[in-house]
Structure 1
Amino acid sequence: MHRLNAWLRRHPLVVDSAWALLVLFVGLLSLIGHATTYQTVSGAAVSFAVAGLMAVRRRYPAITTAAGVAIGLAQVAFNIIPGMSAIGFLVLAYTAAAFGPPWASRLALGMGLISGPVSIWKFYYIPEEPHSGPGFAQMAFLSVLLSTPFLLCWAWGRLTRVRRAYLVELEDRAARLERERDAQAKVAVAAERARIARELHDVVAHNVSVMIVQADGAAYVMENSPQQAKEALGTIAATGRQALVEMRRLLGVLRTADTADEYVPQPGVEELPDLLEQVRTAGLPVEFSTSGEARELPRGVELTVYRIVQEALTNVRKHGGPDVRANVAVDFRDRELEVLIEDDGRGATDEKLSTGGTDGLGHGLIGMRERVGMVSGILDAGPRPGGGFRIRAVMPLKTAK
């Protein structure tokens, strides 16, 4: 049954033709017993014409409306008594309101309003014998009675038009929402890829720089202090393995979207001592201090703090020069968290840091600002008055209720 309904909706001409044949049969049947041959022949011609208009009404709604009005006026002009084929005019009124242009709909409404009075006046009122026909009240009642079916069919057609327009609007809205959803998905994918790129930058830049420093140290003390060279090589191996683990986790996000949270590393403030110890092992003296009441932070803030410190210390090793020292301070405040990284080296220009330095490995200060901006914080970076470089990040925190 569902397939049959779907097929009929795709072939409206078949349905309309079937109804047209039924109306034609009823119209011809009603002509049996007419007193004159003229009424029989003219009534049959009207029945065929109306049935033909019904068959093509949805394909040519404006033409069929105008032709239906012309046939109705011809019946009045040539005194052709309406038969059962007049049912077709109700269908044409519905079609004009549901599928026709505005002028066709207004024309069908006007003709429906006057159809009753004109029919009563033309076919039931006898001017020569005014007292033999129906009275005025009866004529008015019959006029309204004859016009009502046309008005109901026209109103049904308008309701169909409104419902169809509403369905079209819903379909357009659904299509628009689907396009917006696809666009948002693409934006989310691009943001995720940018985030993974920042993560890879921080992981690779930090760990590779540690490995380079340790390798240089091992080469320098290889002959005079084999034990120190062995320890440096062990640090290189451990750092390399750590970098591979983090890179595999990040790249796993690209392969398995459903388990992204499982693979993404989320280091935070608690892991800062391990990071600083690794930096100290690489030969960069770092002091670490905290102030305020330490508390649990949002995961985004935790990761931002860790990556900013990691990136800043990586830049210190690359650009600070010999005998450089660094200081990392984390201040827990009531409404915000401040992270301060300072060094006393020769520093680097803001332009070089913003482009990732001369090694082309990452994003430098641009990546830091993006990270801080994602948690609605602010970042200040620049040379210190007494020499060296200073990075200060302030991130808002939600107060406990």
Structure 2
Amino acid sequence: MTSGEPDLYGSRVSTAEPTVGDRVKRLALPVVLSFVAVVGSLGASRGQEDRRAADWFMVVLLLIGTVSLYWLRTHPVPVLWATVVSTLAYMLMEYPWGPVIFSFVIAVFTVIRTGHRLAGWSGLIALYVGHVVGRLILGINEQGVYQVLLVGTCFVVLGFVAELFRGHRERVMAANKTRREAELRRAGEERLRIAQELHDVVAHHISLINVQASTALHLVDRQPEQAGPALAAIKEASKEALVELRSIVGVLRQSDESAPRQPVTGLDRLEHLVSRTAMAGLEVHTVVHGEARPLPTGLDRAAFRIIQESLTNIVRHAKATEATVRIQYGDESLLLQVDDDGNSLAGPPKEGNGIVGMRERATALGGTLTTTRTPTGSLRITAQLPLPLP
């Protein structure tokens, strides 16, 4: 069952065929109100000998107003005018006073509350003016000024109360919309973060596996005894990749199963990253300036991933044998710089998905990431990430 615009009861108007349960709910109010209106009016007629005697047409007018409420969800304005006409006819024919006004009150209140303000106020004015003018035209007992003003005041109060509920309903709907938009935005940001994690994990480990596989293929025929370490490195890299991927996919699936999980990725795993990269033939030197200290989880993970992706780019694209990672802990920011000794690259840096992802990570934390060429032609990646105030 699909949903469309908000209905007149504060829920959603169904655009599909209503179910049996829906019909029963919609029938409840008309049935109960019809019983109250008919029985109440018949009972009230016994003490009102000066009014017209109850008859079948009185019952018809009562039922027109109450039964029409069944369609209040789908056709609010026509239902309102049906109650206006039936109530006005009932009053001008001087049937006994009773609960005849109930259906009109419910209709006009609901119509205004759900946004049909012009129709609601028009219905109020039409019933009030029609009743006053109709009695004058028909020569019915003239009403006193006090009675006319009292009825008019009651109608105005009804309209303003409906307006108050309408304003409250719109504020609630606006708050719900804002909350849904915020939830969607957070979900989108989380999907982007997970996508970046997947890219970094897959790119890094596949690059290492590719380099080690090339080494193993080169040695398997000439020096088969030396191919073993390369194959072992492939096994270790693929195992580590599977563990990290399972951890990330577990987040996506919100799985409760106990799966092997890596600790939260951060700079404390930098030595492990350096040793894994060395197995691909790239010697990495780490230089730390300032006093190393614990970092917020998001910042720590972003710093690690930026260094990881930088080293992955060197392994994949640069003809380098060494790389240097510099980390500087400042008072207000964390500075990361990754250089290599490659010298075969020329021209402005070409930014692929990896560099774009690193820049998005830095920007999300309020930092910056730049790529420049060193005098030797290698690529230098520099990231500056703001540190939270103590």
The reply on whether 1:9 has 2:9 as its aligned counterpart is no
Q: Is the 8 Å Cα contact of residues 286 and 328 (structure 1) preserved in structure 2? A: yes
The more displaced of 197-206 and 96-105 is: 96-105
Q: Distance in 2 between matches of 1:152 and 1:258?
A: 66
Q: Is the 8 Å Cα contact of residues 319 and 347 (structure 1) preserved in structure 2? A: no
Deviation of 1:47 after TM superposition, in Å, equals 8.3
Give the number of the structure whose alpha-carbon radius of gyration is greater.
1
Query: Secondary structure of 2:291's match?
Result: coil
Counterpart residue number, 1:128: none
Q: Distance in 1 between matches of 2:195 and 2:102?
A: 66
Q: Distance in 1 between matches of 2:126 and 2:243?
A: 78
The reply on whether 1:325 has 2:298 as its aligned counterpart is no
Q: Is the 8 Å Cα contact of residues 52 and 93 (structure 2) preserved in structure 1? A: no
Q: Is the 8 Å Cα contact of residues 94 and 156 (structure 1) preserved in structure 2? A: no
Gaps of 5+ in 1: 32-42, 73-84, 116-121, 124-141, 355-362
2:383 corresponds, among 379, 393, 396, to 393
Gaps of 5+ in 2: 1-23, 69-81, 109-118, 135-140
Counterpart residue number, 1:379: 369
2:45 corresponds, among 11, 16, 24, to 24
Q: Is the 8 Å Cα contact of residues 287 and 327 (structure 2) preserved in structure 1? A: yes
Query: Secondary structure of 2:337's match?
Result: strand
Q: Which of the pair is proportionally richer in helix?
A: 1
Letter of the 1:209 counterpart: S
Q: Is the 8 Å Cα contact of residues 96 and 108 (structure 1) preserved in structure 2? A: no
Q: Distance in 2 between matches of 1:264 and 1:242?
A: 9
Letter of the 1:63 counterpart: V
Q: Distance in 2 between matches of 1:225 and 1:98?
A: 91
Query: Secondary structure of 1:87's match?
Result: coil
What are the Cα deviations for residues 24-63 of structure 1, in whole angstroms up to 9, with x where unaligned?
3333xx25xxxxxxxxxxx546988777655545652332
Q: Distance in 1 between matches of 2:194 and 2:357?
A: 12
2:252 corresponds, among 243, 254, 270, to 254
**Structure 1 residues 339, 22: closer, same or farther in 2, change over 3 A?**
same
Counterpart residue number, 1:87: 97
What are the Cα deviations for residues 303-335 of structure 1, in whole angstroms up to 9, with x where unaligned?
1111111111111112212x5421110010000
Counterpart residue number, 2:336: 339
Letter of the 1:105 counterpart: L
Letter of the 2:44 counterpart: V
1:63 corresponds, among 85, 91, 95, to 85
Deviation of 1:211 after TM superposition, in Å, equals 2.0
Query: Secondary structure of 2:381's match?
Result: strand
Query: Secondary structure of 2:375's match?
Result: coil
Query: Secondary structure of 1:364's match?
Result: helix
**Structure 1 residues 213, 312: closer, same or farther in 2, change over 3 A?**
same
Deviation of 1:391 after TM superposition, in Å, equals 0.5
User: How well do the aligned residues superpose, as a CA RMSD in angstroms?
Assistant: 4.2
What are the Cα deviations for residues 92-122 of structure 1, in whole angstroms up to 9, with x where unaligned?
599479738535534665788999xxxxxx7
Deviation of 1:160 after TM superposition, in Å, equals 4.3
The more displaced of 16-25 and 50-59 is: 50-59
Counterpart residue number, 1:136: none
Letter of the 2:83 counterpart: P
Deviation of 1:71 after TM superposition, in Å, equals 4.6
**Structure 1 residues 157, 351: closer, same or farther in 2, change over 3 A?**
farther
Q: Is the 8 Å Cα contact of residues 221 and 229 (structure 1) preserved in structure 2? A: yes
Q: Is the 8 Å Cα contact of residues 349 and 373 (structure 2) preserved in structure 1? A: no
Q: Distance in 1 between matches of 2:201 and 2:326?
A: 22
Q: How does 1:1-400 map to 2 (within 5 A)?
A: 8-11=28-31, 12-27=33-48, 30=49, 44=52, 53-57=61-65, 59=68, 60-64=82-86, 66-67=88-89, 70-71=92-93, 87=97, 92=101, 95=104, 99=108, 101-103=120-122, 105-106=124-125, 147-148=146-147, 155-167=153-165, 170-171=168-169, 173-174=171-172, 177-178=175-176, 180-222=178-220, 227-256=225-254, 266-321=264-319, 323-345=320-342, 346-347=344-345, 352-354=350-352, 363-400=353-390
Letter of the 1:342 counterpart: D
Query: Secondary structure of 2:265's match?
Result: coil
Q: Is the 8 Å Cα contact of residues 215 and 236 (structure 1) preserved in structure 2? A: yes
Deviation of 1:212 after TM superposition, in Å, equals 2.2
**Structure 1 residues 215, 61: closer, same or farther in 2, change over 3 A?**
closer
**Structure 1 residues 257, 174: closer, same or farther in 2, change over 3 A?**
farther
Q: Is the 8 Å Cα contact of residues 207 and 243 (structure 1) preserved in structure 2? A: yes
TM-score using structure 1 length: 0.69
**Structure 1 residues 57, 156: closer, same or farther in 2, change over 3 A?**
farther
Q: Is the 8 Å Cα contact of residues 93 and 108 (structure 1) preserved in structure 2? A: no
